[in-house]
Amino acid sequence: MEKKLTGLNRLLVLLCAIALLLVLFIPIWRIDLDAPQYPEGLHLNISANGISGNVDIINGLNHYIGMKTLHNSDFIEFTILPYIIALYAFLFIAIAIVNRRKLLNTGFLLFVLFGIIAMIDFWRWEYNYGHNLNPDAAIIVPGMYYQPPLIGFKQLLNFGAFSIPDIGGWIFIGVGAILLYCVINEFRKGKNKWISTGIPVVTVFFLLICCSSCTAIPEPIITGVDQCCYCRMVVSDPRFGAEIITVKGKKYKFDDIHCVLSFIHQQVIKPIEIKEVYLVDYAGAGHALIQSTTSLLLQSEAFKSPMNGNIAAFSEKVKMDQLMEAYKGSSVSWNQLIK
């Protein structure tokens, strides 16, 4: 006799079906574009049945760099995707009604396969739009392509592109996590009684939250390659560099503490969006980045930094004191500078 599902698992599968039906009416993915000329940012929201947001403005920008404009009618995915999502919702309802373990396993595998195919198709769409450029475009940068990131952040000329699941996308991830729990629960049922409690559900969602809020770490500032996000100069002396990481994980690099302070004071991005500010350790090996709030700062005209900020950061007081005598400088704090 084929094994049946536990009452908890049937309820969770039914919850997954309802959640998928909700996805039909809310955005699944979003791409945010930030640039100095658009301080409020531009947004592209991708739903099951089309694209919304600042589509007209983005299409205008795409025209100048040779990218195709975006139109819902160009994507067959927006015609079939609502039906596919609805089909999975009804499949999970059927699984809860029929109450068979094999059907649950099949439904989970099909859902994972759908997720993989969807992400591959999304990457293919981004690749085609970012690489198939009009050779007669008004702006042509040799060797430059404009493929947005599949997930995360990427710098595209003076635009920062940030791609992340929207509410519907997180619901998809949550559905997958719940189904995985149900499959494991059924597999181990009868062997470990604790697995039948609600503890694993909490664990799954805890891990999901941890994965979605992983702490972004600063990237090394590369001399002669990275460009200051404020003055637009290529970094020539990384010893005075700085870096801002936003709550979304986006990174802004600077060639001088003067530039990062001007960036913050002028609120190029909202203060609430700044998660952490890092400064290059002047005397550190490999131009290591240290947190601004814990750094020791020395200001001296003798430094001659790229934009005349003339402030250096240190992680060790001994090294700062050594230079303070030689450079006739004075100690300042980060809190003093940002006021």
| Spatial separation of the C-alpha atoms in residues 217 and 63, rounded to whole Å | 35
At 112, which helix (H) or strand (E)? helix 101-131
Quick check: helix, strand or coil at residue 74?
A: helix
| Range 295-320 average pLDDT | 91
Cα separation, 257 vs 305, in Å, equals 9
Q: Where are the domains of the chain?
A: 7-212, 238-338
Element (H, E) at 60: helix 55-65
Instruction: Measure Cα distances from 338 to 199, 298, 301 in Å.
Output: 45, 15, 19
pLDDT band at 191 (very low <50, low <70, confident <90, very high): low
50-59, 96-105, 150-159 — which is least confidently predicted?
A: 150-159
Mean pLDDT of 48-71: 87
Beta carbons of 262 and 230 less than 8 angstroms apart? yes
pLDDT for res 339: 80
Burial class (CB within 10 angstroms; exposed 0-12, middle 13-18, buried 19+) of 153: buried
Asked if residues 65 and 45 have their Cβ atoms less than 8 Å apart, the reply is no
pLDDT for residue 212:
46
Report d(CA 55, CA 53) in Å as an integer: 5
If one counts every other C-beta atom within 10 angstroms of the C-beta of residue 65, the result is: 20
What radius of gyration do the chain's Cα atoms show?
Answer: 26
Q: What is the pLDDT of residue 277?
A: 94
Residue whose tokens read 């049945």: 49
With a cut of 60, say whether residue 196 has pLDDT above it.
Answer: no
What backbone torsions phi and psi does residue 246 show, to the nearest 5 degrees?
-85, 170
Residues 28, 165 contacting (CB under 8 angstroms) = yes
Show the tokens assigned to 20.
Answer: 């998928």
Say if residue 174 is exposed, middle or buried (CB neighbours under 10 Å; 0-12, 13-18, 19+). middle
